[in-house]
Structure 1
Amino acid sequence: MTVAEKEVNPHFEDFLFDWNQKFQFLVGGYGSSKSYHVALKIIMKLLEEKRTALVMREVYDTHRDSTYSLLEEIVEGLDLSDHIKFSTSPMKVKFPNGSRIIFKGMDKPAKLKSVNNVSLIWVEEASEVKYTGFKELIGRLRHPTLKLHMILSTNPVGEDNWTFTHFFKDELNKRFVLDAEQLYEEKSVVVGDTFYHYSTADDNLFLPLDYINQLEELKDYDPDLYRIARLGRFGINGKRVLPQFAVQEHQKVMRSILDIDNPIKKVGMDFGFVDSYNAVLRMAIDPKKLYLYIYWEYYDRDKTDDVTVEELKEFKESQERIKADSAEPKTIRYFRDQGFDMVGAHKFKGSRLQYTKKVKRFRKIICSDRCTNTIFELKDLTYAVDKQGNIIEDEFKIDPHTFSAIWYGLDDYEVADLKEQAKEKARTRPRRERR
């Protein structure tokens, strides 16, 4: 069997023949040819060794016009169509040495139970697959004799996506693997049993110049997509809710609070139980500078009220007033019966939007580095969008319990907006003497 020569992009040459690591993670921009070279690599491996390869996407039907057609195109380009056979019902590929490729979707998890002796998995558009699905696939990767490999290819999305928190950095769980900036600079990195590969359209020598120009144009009207498609970098997807949010070392935050003339202290609480969290925040307001400081947090779930009361007993002793979610009157009454100074915040139709606007009026929101859950939820908090891509001003891409705690804690405090601030300055500014 004669295999036609195939020209490849130089940046992918090492990747094509490197099988030293179990995991290979490819990330990059649009048109970088990463999926093409993954498909070529798998074909070469299956011609060399008898293996069963599993190709995964989140939705099974999306294979037909992506991974399946790409593999078929490459086989035709190698003049191997007489030897490597494709069938569509179900989609599969058979090699002359007994190797085969099967296609599955995470939207049909029951079909995975029948998969056996898979030694090679390709997860295409990995960011679309759920983290639980990824971990399930690791369990399906097994063979009595062959070395195991999983290749993941994806465009970068937000840093809250599991592909970033697993392969790079998980701030919430204090887990660090690799600085993404190092990968962007070095283009390929090996960490432990994972080979990392980064590429952009510039690495695809066969890409038309007008396509690259189209990617460049995104910079002017869609900066989020420009970062993903042209630069191929992880980041924040969408418009940040609190662009003035900053993190400082705890002692510096406490010194700043001590320097405030007549600081206003507030405590807010959002209730949770199994799926959501009890979140309590201590805050301090500098009314002159319009700075909000967050210096203490409680964040836990799956605790009964009696356990939570015990864990928050310092508030009972200090008699700090806690403004809490008024949707839980029984819980508030229980806390009050236990000696807490807790009252419900005033909620009304449209209060989510009004609370959000209030918080956004602070010039700075400074959070202690000890409040790790608050940082995780608020530092990169972005608005949800509707089907047309328009921002929904009172909905967010995650459910930020600490943000709700801020809402309730500030229930009876009004932050002057810019118009009100201008009016106040005009009232207090000395009038010019008439000449």
Structure 2
Amino acid sequence: MVRLPEVVGRGYGTFWNFQGRYRVCKGSRASKKSKTTALNLITRMMKYPEANALVVRKVFRTLKDSCFTELKWAVNRLGVQAFWDVKETPLEMTYKPTGQKIYFRGLDDPLKVASITVETGYLCWCWVEEAYEIGKEADFDMLDESIRGAIPPETGLFKQITLTLNPWNERHWIKRRFFDAEPSPEILAMTTNYLCNEWLDEADKRVFETMKRQNPRRYRVAGLGDWGIVDGLIYENWREEAFDPGEISPREGVVSAFGLDFGYSNDPSALFCGLVSAREKTIWVFDELYEKGLTNRAIYERIARMGYGKERIKADCAEPKSIDELREMGLPRIRAARKGKDSVNNGIQYIQDYEIIIHPKCVNFLTEISNYTWEEDKLGAKTNRPMDDFNHLMDAMRYGLEEILIGPAFRFD
């Protein structure tokens, strides 16, 4: 027999038992909010034989390596693998004794969300992971309206939407709608952090203690789960808008640009994919790669699978060995970006003269550009140095655009 307190741990009792319409949890990294939600969803499905669930992220392709993986982990953690049928095509999980299902959808295909129907029972619960990615409140309203309909009271079922998120920006509509709302029995808005995660080892805890000393601003958000206060944005010349790259690329003067920033354990490897028009002073951001723990072989495979293996890619010149390896693997046009005195600030100044249009599927680019700010000095005044955070795709963008915006003959030193 599984004892839930031993499996779930502490800090989420109210969250676990709440049955109001909206259950919203913002939290720091390693606060176990996603894992607790996954455990709670699997447990509920097995408790209520007529309930079905929907799991949502802004972009469908991000579900497999996030929520889907977390739910598989929860099934294993609870020791109930024999009762669940897990499929990757289509992405779906079925509780075999009753036929209840967990469906997976992305808001990038709103028709599939709005038209979802269940085979047995009722659609009761929705989990929105990385809810910060949903920049438009209207997109959430559409999802909210799809989780409606009468349920016979004798079933004991209830309808609920759970949102989990990292609270990067206090200007986000989620803060106003849920955290600043008047008290309501239909809303649970709570904050958790790594301090309630008893599964962290000493090495994990040292990461946060180091962050607390070296980057207090980052620690308040990524460590304690407080709302990020975003002022001094570097780029304000951007907007989110759906567009078809195939319609833009044939325009006269439009060229493609790809930039790669290397990462591994703590930082993601980031690929910027854009189209640029010097005449229209416009940058269109149409795709991205953003993933931690990628070896050079894995980076090559991801880029080739995305269809960009033959493109000209400018990569961080601090990793010449990695660039050589990627070229030998099958990226023949990858080259090192130039770096020199004031290269970062010069690149930023050129990009600031352009309008940046970002496709909604580029969720990590949207998160970074809306949080990329100038550093503060000890007195809180802004400096002319970008903060060393939310900068992986921002750096990749500069690499990819350097020759287009600045010209091949430009030198920084």
Could you state the TM-score of these two structures normalised by the residue count of structure 1? 0.50
Q: CA deviation at 1:229?
A: 1.1
Distance 2:134 2:372 in 1: 22
Q: CA deviation at 1:238?
A: 5.6
Query: Which stretches of structure 1, 4 residues or longer, exceed 4 Å deviation after superposition?
Result: 380-390
- For residue 119 of structure 1, give the secondary structure of its aligned residue in structure 2: strand
Residues 1:388 and 1:82: Cα distance change in structure 2 (over 3 Å): closer
| 1:150 lines up with 2:148 in the alignment | no
Q: Deviations over 1:253-311 (max 9, x none)?
A: xxxxxxxxxxxxxxxxxxxxxxxxxxxxxxxxxxxxxxxxxxxxxxxxxxxxxxxxxxx
| 1:201 lines up with 2:199 in the alignment | no
Structure 2 residue runs without a partner (length 5+): 152-156, 235-345, 353-370, 375-385, 398-413
* Residue correspondences, number: 239
Question: Any residues of structure 2 matched to 1:151-300 within 5 Å, and which?
Answer: 151-169=162-180, 177=181, 191-237=184-230, 239=232
Question: Root-mean-square deviation (CA), in Å?
Answer: 3.2
Distance 2:86 2:114 in 1: 23
Distance 2:115 2:173 in 1: 26
Question: Any residues of structure 2 matched to 1:27-426 within 5 Å, and which?
Answer: 27-49=26-48, 50-95=50-95, 96-116=97-117, 117-130=122-135, 131-145=137-151, 146-169=157-180, 177=181, 191-237=184-230, 239=232, 389=394
Q: CA deviation at 1:135?
A: 0.8
Distance 2:56 2:81 in 1: 23
Distance 2:204 2:28 in 1: 12
Output the amino acid matched with 2:175. F
Q: Deviations over 1:38-78 (max 9, x none)?
A: 11111111111121100001111211121111111111122
Output the amino acid matched with 1:110. L
Q: CA deviation at 1:155?
A: 1.0
Distance 2:101 2:393 in 1: 42
Output the amino acid matched with 1:45. R
* Structure 1 counterpart of 2:303: none
Distance 2:78 2:232 in 1: 46
Q: Retained in 2: the 8 A contact 1:224–1:237?
A: no
Could you state the TM-score of these two structures normalised by the residue count of structure 2? 0.52
Q: Deviations over 1:130-150 (max 9, x none)?
A: 322211111100232142111
- For residue 128 of structure 2, give the secondary structure of its aligned residue in structure 1: strand
Residues 1:238 and 1:216: Cα distance change in structure 2 (over 3 Å): farther
Q: Retained in 2: the 8 A contact 1:17–1:41?
A: no
Q: Retained in 1: the 8 A contact 2:21–2:161?
A: yes
Q: Deviations over 1:321-361 (max 9, x none)?
A: xxxxxxxxxxxxxxxxxxxxxxxxxxxxx9xx8xx9xxxxx
> How many percent identity over aligned positions?
26
Q: Deviations over 1:113-163 (max 9, x none)?
A: 331352211001111123222111111002321421111111111111111
- For residue 25 of structure 1, give the secondary structure of its aligned residue in structure 2: strand
Q: Retained in 2: the 8 A contact 1:56–1:123?
A: yes
Distance 1:138 1:236 in 2: 28
Q: Retained in 2: the 8 A contact 1:158–1:234?
A: yes
Output the amino acid matched with 1:143. G
